[in-house]
Structure 1
Amino acid sequence: MRGPKWLALALVTAIHDEAIYEFGGLGGMRDTGLLESALDRPRNRLAYQPETTVFELAASLCFGLAKNHPFVDGNKRTALLAARAFLFVNGYLLEPAEEDEVLTMVAVAEDSVSEQQLAEWMQRNSTRDGS
């Protein structure tokens, strides 16, 4: 795959802040290092597994954010929104049904879905951005 476009720490922080503003919850960063670690996760995967798909990278980012809990609140929402933004800047629109989004992110948090299953779900629910 051609080199992906990555999300900056400031963008993911802004995504989190907007999600808290829009949906409620406690704002604030719990640990910047955990956010940096989550953002580096897909980069490291690509470095060691160059055949990785954009959906696997998005799932890696999503898992990192959801599991690391870098924010005080809203980690699952931020994880999904950041994965959606990552796919968008790399040419895809992630558009699952809202209920499916919620169930999938709860499954991620409960360890009842694997990172690979999340990548496959993202691929099934994405279309190529024609713009």
Structure 2
Amino acid sequence: MKEPVFISRERVNVLHRRSLEEHGGQDGIRNEHGLESALAQPMNVFHYGQGDLFDLAAAYAYHIAENQPFVDGNKRTAITTTLVFLELNGISTSAITNDQLYDMMIGIAEKRLDKAGLAAVLRTQLG
């Protein structure tokens, strides 16, 4: 696999602010290290050859949601970052519904869905 287009810190900040503007919530970073760590995970997966684009996308969603780097809007930012990553890398996300996205993020929050499980769901829905 060629090197994908990764999501920059600046882009995640923009996605987070847009989410707050649309849905409300308090702006701010709660855990700087948690955000940096979450954004590094997909790069690590790629550089160690441990997956496809769906695995990398799942790493964004899972680690942003789990690390809770923002004061509010972590799950929304996690799934939005994931969808933008897939779109930037040539995978249309139009086949996935808002209900499915909600179920994925609640699954992560409730520990019913891990990173591999999320990658499998994304692969099934969009692959």
TM-score range, shorter chain: over 0.9
CA-to-aligned-CA distance 1:83-126 (integer Å, 9 cap, x gap) = 00110111112231111111111011111012111011112222
CA-to-aligned-CA distance 1:37-79 (integer Å, 9 cap, x gap) = 100011112222x151000000011111000001001100000
Tell me if the contact between 1:94 and 1:122 (Cα under 8 Å) persists in the aligned partners: no
Secondary structure of 2:92's counterpart equals strand
Which runs of 4 or more aligned residues in structure 1 lie more than 4 Å from their structure 2 counterparts after TM superposition? none
Equivalent position of 1:113 in the other structure: 113
Equivalent position of 1:75 in the other structure: 74
Equivalent position of 1:63 in the other structure: 62
Q: Considering fraction of residues, name the structure with more strand.
A: 1
Q: Tell me how many residue pairs correspond in the alignment.
A: 126
Q: Superposition RMSD on alpha carbons, in Å? A: 1.2
Give ranges in structure 2 of 5+ residues lacking alignment.
none
The answer as to 2:15 corresponding to 1:27 is no
Percent identity at matched positions? 33
Q: TM-score, normalised by structure 2?
A: 0.93
